A and B are shown apart, each in its own frame.
Chain A
Amino acid sequence: NAGVMQNPRHLVRRRGQEARLRCSPMKGHSHVYWYRQLPEEGLKFMVYLQKENIIDESGMPKERFSAEFPKEGPSILRIQQVVRGDSAAYFCASSPGGMDQPQHFGDGTRLSIL
C-alpha cells in the first residue's frame, strides 16, 4: 500500500530556471493538495485539485506558479523563473474525498535556489 509519493526529494535550481515537482496520490485518492513550508513555519495551503480540475487555488501566487492533475499521471506543481524566495519544502497530500476527509502527506520536495 504505497503512500503519497513525491519526487524528487531534493531539487536544486538556479535563479530563473523552472522547477517541476511531482506527486502521485495514494491509490484510490482523487483529491490532491499542495502546501509550502518555509523554515520554522507551519504549512501554508497553495492549491487543491481533483482529476483534471483546479478546485481552489487561493493560496497559490498568481504569477510563475501553476498546478495540474491530469487524467493520467501524477500531479505537477510548476514554478517558472524561480527566485531565492521560492526555497522551501513543498508537500503534497491526498484524500479519497473532499476536505472533510483526512489528508495523507508525502515526504515533500525540498527546493533550493542558488
Chain B
Amino acid sequence: GDSVTQMEGPVTLSEEAFLTINCTYTATGYPSLFWYVQYPGEGLQLLLKATKADDKGSNKGFEATYRKETTSFHLEKGSVQVSDSAVYFCALSAKTPLVFGKGTRLSVIA
C-alpha cells in the first residue's frame, strides 16, 4: 500500500540556520503531496502542497518540490525562526485518505 517515510527527529537548529526535512513516498498512481505542521496542543495545519511532478509548493518561506524520479518531497527553509518549532508531517493522497509519515519534531533555539 501507499506509504510515506520521513527523516527521524528530533532536529535541533539555531535560529537562521537552513532546514531540510527529507520525505520519500511509495504510491500507486499519481498522488498529491502535502506538508502539514502541528504546533503543541493543536491540530494539523496545511503548510504547502503539490499536485503533480515538478510542482513546487511554497508558504511562509518553506518550499518543497514534487520529484517523481526520486519519489521525494523534501521540505526546505532558508532561515528558520524560533516560531517554526513544531512537528512537521509529510503526507500523500491519491484520491484516497491521507497517508502520513511519522512526523519530524523541529526545535529552533535562539
Q: Are the CB atoms of A104 and B100 closer together than 8 Å?
A: no
Contacts of A33 in B (CB 8 A): 97-98
Which residue of the partner chain, among A4, A44, A99, A108, contacts B100 with CB atoms under 8 Å?
Answer: A44
Identify the closest chain B residue to A43 (Cβ): B100
Task: Tell me if A86 counts as interface (CB < 8 A to partner B).
Answer: no
By CB atoms of chain A within 10 A, which of B36, B46, B97, B103 has the most? B97
Q: Which residues of A contact B (CB under 8 A)?
A: 4, 6, 33, 35, 40-45, 48, 56, 59, 91, 93, 98-100, 102-108
On chain B, the number of residues with a Cβ less than 8 Å from chain A's Cβ atoms is: 22
> 20 A-B pairs, CB-CB below 8 angstroms?
A33-B97, A41-B102, A42-B89, A42-B100, A42-B102, A42-B103, A43-B100, A44-B100, A45-B97, A56-B97, A99-B95, A100-B32, A100-B93, A102-B46, A102-B49, A105-B36, A105-B43, A105-B44, A107-B42, A108-B42
Decide yes or no: A99 and B102 within 8 Å by CB, A91-B43, A106-B43 being known contacts. no
A41 to B55, CA, bound (A): 28
Contacts of B45 in A (CB 8 A): 105
Contacts of B46 in A (CB 8 A): 102-104
Task: Tell me if B21 counts as interface (CB < 8 A to partner A).
Answer: no
Q: Are the CB atoms of B97 and A48 closer together than 8 Å?
A: yes
Q: Are the CB atoms of A43 and B93 closer together than 8 Å?
A: no
Q: Nearest-CB distance from A81 to chain B (Å)?
A: 26
Contacts of A104 in B (CB 8 A): 46
Residues of B77-97 contacting chain A, CB below 8 A: 89, 93, 95-97
Known: A56-B97, A100-B93, A107-B42. 7 other contacts (CB 8 A): A33-B98, A35-B98, A40-B102, A41-B102, A41-B103, A102-B34, A107-B43
Q: Are the CB atoms of A100 and B95 closer together than 8 Å?
A: yes
A104 to B46, CA, bound (A): 7
Identify the closest chain A residue to B39 (Cβ): A107
Contacts of A106 in B (CB 8 A): 43
Decide yes or no: A43 and B44 within 8 Å by CB, A100-B32, A102-B49 being known contacts. yes
